[in-house]
């Protein structure tokens, strides 16, 4: 039987959220104290350039349950989540953003699933107020492609980093050594019994989203490359198919023009045929080289053996 009042660790990555932190802290503490949950708040400042760190320090000074890590520069949300999981001490650890888009009431449903035996409870966004159509369609396309890469892995569209982890899941996660990581993929890889809780995302309390389009694209590429090597195999198969079709087409055109005397009046010159085939094959080669470069870049970062993040100060 799991405790009805487990010790909660809330990991909160922060990057330029000065307009949300004080408000969000009041919301969290009011929610937790009303339910009498023992808790700790772990703020991870990811190299913010505004006054986020100063606000976090003021929160930690007045609340002994609040602690923080501050990076030496911006290392990215994945590193911030990892740092929080490394430091968390609770029976249950929950990752939650500081912008107020994740409704706190969803924690009640997550804890209910945890008490029923689930080791991982994943928040699934059914709707995101204010989300652009392009962003929504792009997210769905990404998860569909991820599902195609690995049909054995359960991939849920609209799954978020808002998820609850049991202590033993966190302990196993902390043993992983990947540097160029996608946290949710690594958690999925660990296995364990999981459940899903749906929620409707709220609008940001203040400011604009700091998770830019470029960061989303990088996360998507990292997720695909770290998740499967099937794209390499697929491109190899496409290369073989294109080579076969190119040779076949060239032979047929040669027969049509020189053996049969051009009965279809195509009037295609040998130079044109050669240029067409070469252009097509060069394009395929470039695609293959680009994909290989992404995988080699991943190997490059892993073999550098640099730390995932650098903590400048903590409390």
Report for 4-8, 55-59, 126-130, 272-276: range of highest mean pLDDT: 55-59
User: pLDDT band at residue 312, thresholds of 50, 70 and 90?
Assistant: confident
* Class of CATH domain 8-228: alpha beta
User: pLDDT band at residue 171, thresholds of 50, 70 and 90?
Assistant: very high
Round to whole Å and give the CA distance between 312 and 187: 27
CB-CB contact of 22 with 55 (8 Å): yes
The reported pTM is 0.67
Domain boundaries, the chain: 8-228, 230-304
User: pLDDT band at residue 164, thresholds of 50, 70 and 90?
Assistant: very high
Percent of the chain with pLDDT over 70: 67
Whether 187 has a pLDDT exceeding 90, the answer reads no
What pLDDT, on the 0 to 100 scale, is given for residue 286?
Answer: 67
Closest CA to 165 of 82, 98, 51, 66: 82
The string of pLDDT tens digits covering residues 150-159 is 545 565 667 7
Burial class (CB in 10 A: 0-12, 13-18, 19+), 130: exposed
Residue given tokens 């990991």 in the structure block: 11
Query: What mean pLDDT is predicted for residues 24-52?
Result: 89
């Amino acid at each position: 039987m799991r405790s009805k009042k487990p010790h909660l660790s809330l990991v909160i990555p922060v990057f330029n959220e000065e307009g949300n932190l004080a408000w969000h802290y009041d919301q969290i503490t009011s929610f937790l104290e009303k339910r009498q949950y023992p808790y700790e708040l772990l703020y991870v400042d990811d190299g913010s350039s505004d006054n986020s760190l100063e606000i976090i320090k003021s929160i930690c000074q007045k609340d002994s349950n609040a602690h923080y890590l501050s990076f030496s520069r911006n290392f990215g949300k994945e590193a911030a989540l990892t740092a929080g999981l490394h430091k968390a001490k609770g029976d249950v650890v929950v990752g939650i953003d500081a912008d107020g888009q994740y409704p706190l009431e969803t924690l009640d449903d997550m804890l209910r699933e945890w008490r029923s035996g689930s080791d991982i409870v994943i928040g699934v966004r059914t709707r995101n107020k204010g989300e652009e159509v392009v962003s929504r369609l792009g997210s769905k396309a990404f998860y569909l492609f991820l599902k195609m890469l690995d049909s054995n892995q359960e991939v849920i569209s609209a799954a978020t980093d808002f998820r609850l982890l049991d202590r033993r899941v966190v302990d196993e996660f902390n043993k992983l050594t990947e540097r160029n990581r996608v946290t949710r993929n690594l958690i999925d890889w660990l296995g364990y019994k999981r459940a899903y809780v749906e929620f409707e995302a709220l609008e940001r309390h203040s400011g604009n989203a700091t998770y830019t389009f470029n960061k989303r694209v990088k996360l998507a590429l990292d997720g695909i490359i770290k998740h499967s090597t099937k794209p390499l195999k697929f491109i190899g198969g496409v290369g073989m198919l294109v080579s076969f079709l190119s040779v076949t087409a060239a032979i047929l055109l040669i027969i049509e023009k020189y053996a049969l005397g051009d009965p279809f009046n195509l009037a295609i010159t040998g130079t044109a045929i050669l240029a067409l085939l070469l252009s097509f094959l060069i394009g395929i080669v470039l695609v293959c080289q680009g994909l290989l470069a992404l995988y080699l870049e991943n190997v490059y970062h892993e073999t550098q053996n640099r730390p995932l993040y650098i903590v400048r100060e903590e409390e």
